[in-house]
Structure 1
Amino acid sequence: MQYNSSSKITGVGAYLPEKILTNHDLEKLVDTNDEWIVRRTGVKERRTAQKDEFSSDMAIKAVENLLTRHSAAIDEVDMIIVTTFTPDHLTPSVAALVQGYYGIQNAGTMDINAACTGFTYGLCVADSLITAGSFKKILLISSEATSKIMDYTDRNTCIIFGDAATAFVIEKTDGKGSILASSFNSDGKLAENVTCSVLSDRVNGRILTKDRLFQQEGKFLYEYVVKTIPDGVQNLLKKSQLSLEDIAWFVPHSANLRMIEALCKRLEFPMEKTLISNEYYGNTSSATIPLAIWMALQAARIKTGDKMVLYGFGGGLTHGGVVLEW
């Protein structure tokens, strides 16, 4: 039986930092080259935030882009959800900073950290809150400043990631809702394969935080994703009572083009019906899926009524997604 959703996506915006970091730029920082990066990952360039630009700044700019297309997008918003694993602070939340900047009254705020699975978690939470009758209009933002935690001497990691933010509006509808099904899984026993640890020093008996450092086991993750995610997608489709033949667009987390190609091969799903965002923007963690949707909307590729599978996977380890009808 399909899930009885009562929400629809009514607005989409995005922000990409101006600074472009090309593969040739990375050749000057680490032992790598353009041909090697493209062959291994499909990434040609990525965006990086300015030194004084953080996840909240990008989130605000994504909302500004949203407002250029939907001027009333944040009117009457009663909950703000931000998905990020690169927040400005442990507290306050990025969502609270966005609320404060825009002065949105009578709105709750919270951040969700599910790493690269964050957007699909956020979308499911927003839909659930609306369907339960607790809220009517939710601003869902995904904002990731991965450059702030990247080790640019680690060529297996720094070549992949980039910075970006997106802003979606999800509203209560009296008609048919967008979300047809959702499914999520995790395996914390494998958590050590993707980590962002706090580096600290002890000075005069006090622990002083110095920096955050992101690390991942790329080969392990590639094998895990290709082996595990196809079954996750099929289980999600089973819950929606649909098959891949019913799906207009597959929108996986844009971690690595070669990984996505392998996923599509395992699923026997065509790459030309797969939306990705990593070629010019890299792996933007929880922002990859909504960024791919924003890009496709800009190109008028997504049509009303299109059924889509959105599926994220990443640190935790977490994976899961939603089936929605546009």
Structure 2
Amino acid sequence: MSVVRSVVTGVGAYLPPQIVTNEDLSKIVDTSDEWIVERTGIRQRHKAADDQAVSDLAVEAARQALERAGKSPADVDLIIVATTTPDLTFPATAAIVQRKLGAGVGIAFDVQAVCSGFVYALSVADGFIARGNAKCALVIGAEAMTRLMDWTDRGTCVLFGDGAGAVVLEPGEGQGTTADRGMLGFALRADGTKQDLLYVDGGPSTTGTVGKLRMLGNQVFKHAVINISEAIHAAAEKAGVTVPEVDWFIPHQANQRILQGVANRCGIDEDKVISTVALHANTSAASIPLAFAHGVADGRIKPGDLLLLEAMGGGLTWGACVLRL
């Protein structure tokens, strides 16, 4: 049976030039390189310049993805930006990206599911493509998480960084089997009762301020390992594959211990895990596409490979996706 699949045809990434090392942070907060590495695996993070908006990061990643897909901005008819740090309250950052790219009139909007945003956005874009409502979609995860940091809180300010990653999705014909290229299965979840575990203490309709990120790290860790593992197996079941069949595991780059905990719980070989958390820390919705682009760039991820993506973020939200490149 012939089916329409959403196929990734290009991947791009962008990290702002400024690097903030653990040693740099030790000069402004009570911490050390040893303390951070031991607990998180993070060695550095990138920080956007004061005059760099999230849309600027997104545009750079999008241009690279389009180039690798052999497409131009004129081809794009759908832009979805997953972000929790938008340029403005409105318009959507996606609309700003559309303008800055020079793309024509089309569909453009943001998705807000914090660190899970990229997986949620992929699912949304997949729906547009499957119904024939988009032929060339840009799905972008872009964040300036350092703008939300309380630089006196060593438990959170060491964890986050800025960056953007993007993929181009185009329709491809499949046979409805696991050998098809494209999106094969999703599992998306949310539990609003866990809001207090990870949130920002500000917003337009409450405080009228941007606010700062607050987190109960130990509780988030516990829920992350358990909940993500369930979503991984659910996504694999919907895709019609087993977790051991996956060639590459591309998790949200939150914390090396969480990556290892999820991989161990799901029986995923450590050699199959794409880990970039040491290089750019937790970039929220940008972390999966950044790791994806890294794995493609270094030659590990190749066309035809079966990929497993997963994330968990504030809300709490979480989810997983299985796709064949």
CA RMSD of aligned residues (A): 1.9
Match of 2:318 in 1: 319
Query: What does the per-residue CA deviation read over 1:97-120, in whole Å, with 9 as the maximum and x for residues that have no partner?
Result: 111112311211100000000111
- Point out the more displaced range, 218-227 or 29-38: 218-227
Q: CA deviation at 1:227?
A: 2.2
Query: What does the per-residue CA deviation read over 1:130-172, in whole Å, with 9 as the maximum and x for residues that have no partner?
Result: 0011111111111100011111111010111000011211011
Q: CA deviation at 1:245?
A: 2.0
Q: CA deviation at 1:257?
A: 0.2
- Within 5 A, what are the aligned runs for 1:12-161? 12-70=11-69, 72-161=71-160
1:193 aligns with 2:192: no
SS in structure 2 of the partner of residue 212 of structure 1: coil
The two structures have a TM-score, normalised by structure 1, of 0.93
For structure 1, the residue ranges without an aligned partner over 5 or more in a row are: 201-206
Match of 1:203 in 2: none
Q: CA deviation at 1:223?
A: 0.9
Query: What does the per-residue CA deviation read over 1:80-130, in whole Å, with 9 as the maximum and x for residues that have no partner?
Result: 100000001110111011111123112111000000001111111111110
Q: Is the 8 A contact 1:277 1:289 kept in 2?
A: no
- Number of residue pairs matched by the alignment: 319
Q: CA deviation at 1:190?
A: 0.6
- Point out the more displaced range, 231-240 or 252-261: 231-240
Instruction: Please give the alpha-carbon distance, in whole angstroms, between the structure 2 residues aligned to 1:293 and 1:3.
Output: 28
Match of 1:258 in 2: 257
The percentage of aligned residue pairs carrying the same residue is 38
Query: What does the per-residue CA deviation read over 1:284-325, in whole Å, with 9 as the maximum and x for residues that have no partner?
Result: 001111111100111010122111111111111111111101
For structure 2, the residue ranges without an aligned partner over 5 or more in a row are: 175-179
The code of the aligned residue for 1:129 comes to F
Q: Is the 8 A contact 1:119 1:287 kept in 2?
A: yes
Q: CA deviation at 1:225?
A: 1.1
- Within 5 A, what are the aligned runs for 1:142-221? 142-175=141-174, 176-198=180-202, 209-221=208-220
- Point out the more displaced range, 151-160 or 267-276: 267-276
Q: CA deviation at 1:7?
A: 1.7
Q: Is the 8 A contact 2:73 2:102 kept in 1?
A: no
Q: CA deviation at 1:4?
A: 4.8
Q: Name the CA shift for 1:4/1:277 in 2 (closer, same or farther; >3 Å).
A: farther
Instruction: Please give the alpha-carbon distance, in whole angstroms, between the structure 2 residues aligned to 1:198 and 1:86.
Output: 12
Instruction: Please give the alpha-carbon distance, in whole angstroms, between the structure 2 residues aligned to 1:86 and 1:44.
Output: 23
The two structures have a TM-score, normalised by structure 2, of 0.93
The code of the aligned residue for 2:193 comes to K
Q: Is the 8 A contact 2:69 2:168 kept in 1?
A: no
Instruction: Please give the alpha-carbon distance, in whole angstroms, between the structure 2 residues aligned to 1:262 and 1:318.
Output: 18
SS in structure 2 of the partner of residue 220 of structure 1: helix
The code of the aligned residue for 1:259 comes to I
